[in-house]
């Protein structure tokens, strides 16, 4: 890992260069990563590679980490820019998950909504050694890959789940539930609706809290902060999750840590902790 000056970011980020000098076409389709079909295709590609090439789970994780990235490539950590290798990024991402949930009381079940191919499941299981970890994912390819990668982990399971569909899974997993997400809410069409459903279950005592690593609009009025806000707007990302959580009278947002990690430094993750508000209707 080595420092990267903001002035040099356009040399390592096609989107930074395009936003500052919007000449010609953008580096890729602005809405490419906001559809379920796109992610299902990505997970299907890695599932085939895992099965056909006999990769170990760690080798597959390293391949995913390297996909589409320069070596080294830019990241952000607490508003500082760095160049890191894919292997370094993989370790940073795992550390970020465990750091995000540090100090959170152990629930019976950690429910990772939108777990993708399962990158966060093992770090969550390590962070909560006495809890079950359930991954929930819409993509069938993502579910299959996550199950195969964690077949030897008896506390980890993965189920098919659509945030826009039935929430039966949330109501059926055992015991108290801590909800976790990473980079999921920003791609939704109805973030407010998801927050409403979380708040209903929090007020009812079903969900005891939430930890989210999400790309939200907590940007400072700096050059980098304004560039990030512009990036989210151009790409059509929904960055309203924090505002929705704060705006619900049944939830108490207790902690917000901006830019815990930005594998894409223009779209960094912010750690958000909430719990049911004392005295809320149950």
What residue segments make up the domains of the chain, in order of their start? 2-276
Of 215, 224, 189, which Cα lies nearest the Cα of 268?
Answer: 215
pLDDT digits (tens, 9 = 90+) for 2-57: 999 999 999 999 999 999 998 888 888 776 666 667 889 999 999 999 999 999 99
**What proportions of the chain, in percent to the nearest 5, are helix, strand and coil?**
40, 20, 40
pTM of this structure: 0.94
The pLDDT assigned to 25 comes to 85
Q: pLDDT confidence of 280, banded at 50, 70, 90?
A: low
Neighbours of 11 (CB within 10 A): 12
Residue with tokens 């903001």: 6
**Residue 159: helix, strand or coil by DSSP?**
strand
pLDDT digits (tens, 9 = 90+) for 182-197: 999 988 889 999 999 9
pLDDT digits (tens, 9 = 90+) for 161-174: 999 999 999 999 99
Residue with tokens 């929090």: 202
The domain defined by 2-276 folds into Rossmann fold (3.40.50)
CA atoms of 256 and 239, how far apart (whole Å) = 14
């Amino acid at each position: 890992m080595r420092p990267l000056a903001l002035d040099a970011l356009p040399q390592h980020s096609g989107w930074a260069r395009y936003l500052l000098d919007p000449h010609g076409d953008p580096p890729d389709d602005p809405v490419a990563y906001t559809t379920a079909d796109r992610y299902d295709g990505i997970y299907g590609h890695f599932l085939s590679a895992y099965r056909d090439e006999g990769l170990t789970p760690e080798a597959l994780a390293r391949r995913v980490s390297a996909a589409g990235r320069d070596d080294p490539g830019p990241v952000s950590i607490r508003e500082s820019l760095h160049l890191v290798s894919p292997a370094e990024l993989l370790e940073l991402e795992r550390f970020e998950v465990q750091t995000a949930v540090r100090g959170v009381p152990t629930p019976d079940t950690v429910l990772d909504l939108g777990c993708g191919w399962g990158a966060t499941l093992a770090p969550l299981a390590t962070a909560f050694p006495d809890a079950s970890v359930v991954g929930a994912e819409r993509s069938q390819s993502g579910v299959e890959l996550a199950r195969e990668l964690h077949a030897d982990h008896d506390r980890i399971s993965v189920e098919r789940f659509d945030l826009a569909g039935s929430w039966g899974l949330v109501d059926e997993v055992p015991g108290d539930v801590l909800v976790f997400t990473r980079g999921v809410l920003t791609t939704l069409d109805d973030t407010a609706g998801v927050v409403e459903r979380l708040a209903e279950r929090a007020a009812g005592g079903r969900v005891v809290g939430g930890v989210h690593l999400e790309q939200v609009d907590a940007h400072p009025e700096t050059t980098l902060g304004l560039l990030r806000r512009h990036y989210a707007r151009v790409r059509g990302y929904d960055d309203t999750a924090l505002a929705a959580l704060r705006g619900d009278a049944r939830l108490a947002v207790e902690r917000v840590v901006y830019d815990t990690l930005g594998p894409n430094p223009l779209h960094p993750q912010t750690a958000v902790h909430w719990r049911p508000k004392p005295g809320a209707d149950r």
